[in-house]
């Protein structure tokens, strides 16, 4: 549903993961190919969520796309990754890293820790996480994510600290619009310097 609701020129890839991750479909705008890749998804074995996120972020860095987003769907807590949650977030917070939207189809037993992990990943990158109680809500959430991606603003700025100075750079954005009061801004919390910086997020 997310692909159908997105721009027809968007380039999309599919990574499937259980106790390992697999690139099932390289970048393509072809909906039929993407649907075919999604049909290969199997809910079995462990959950190498963080490994899949890091691999997907690496794959995105080799693309020439200006705006990047990851749409993550999982039904459980990570229990098979070599990467940690902190390492996955660090990778996503590299310059020009993707915005992450997450859907957690979580049971009661593992929901607390898994939910917090998805919330951290999405919040730190300027995205949103959703936790629908049933599969019936996934299509509407996917449409909402597609709308959010289409309606993002991109803000470019020149940092005062030279790129030769290593370390995490925080980002804070305030927005106002008459006759409204202060707007709610959703953007990445910061980045690790590399190339020219662009911060993307949504404004509600």
The pLDDT tens digits for 73-91 are 998 899 999 999 999 999 9
Q: Can you tell me whether residue 101 is helix, strand or coil? A: strand
pLDDT tens-digit readout, 12-60: 999 999 999 999 999 999 999 998 998 877 777 889 999 999 999 999 9
H or E segment and range at residue 91: helix 85-92
Query: What integer is the mean pLDDT of 114-122?
Result: 96
- CA 120/CA 123 separation, integer angstroms: 5
Mean pLDDT computed over every residue of the chain: 87
- CA 187/CA 127 separation, integer angstroms: 7
Confidence at 181, pLDDT banded by 50, 70, 90: confident
Question: What CATH architecture applies to the domain 2-150?
Answer: 3-Layer(aba) Sandwich (3.40)
Give me the residue spans of the domains in the chain. 2-150
């Amino acid at each position: 549903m997310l692909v159908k609701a997105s721009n027809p020129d968007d380039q999309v890839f599919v990574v499937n993961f259980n106790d390992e991750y697999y690139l099932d479909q390289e970048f393509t705008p072809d909906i039929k190919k993407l649907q075919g890749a999604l049909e290969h998804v199997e809910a079995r074995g462990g959950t190498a969520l963080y490994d899949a996120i890091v691999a997907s972020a690496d794959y995105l860095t080799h693309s020439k796309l200006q705006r990047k987003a990851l749409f993550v769907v999982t039904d459980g807590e990570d229990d098979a990754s070599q990467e940690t949650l902190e390492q996955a977030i660090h990778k996503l917070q590299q310059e020009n890293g993707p915005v992450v939207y997450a859907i957690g189809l979580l049971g009661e037993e593992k929901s607390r820790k898994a939910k917090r992990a998805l919330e951290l990943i999405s919040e730190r990158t300027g995205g949103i996480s959703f936790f629908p109680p049933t599969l019936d809500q996934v299509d509407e959430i996917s449409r909402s994510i597609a709308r959010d991606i289409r309606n993002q603003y991109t803000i470019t700025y020149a940092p005062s600290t030279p790129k030769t100075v290593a370390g995490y750079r925080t980002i804070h954005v305030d927005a106002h619009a008459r006759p409204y009061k202060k707007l709610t801004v959703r953007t990445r919390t910061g980045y690790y310097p590399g190339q020219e910086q662009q911060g993307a997020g949504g404004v509600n």
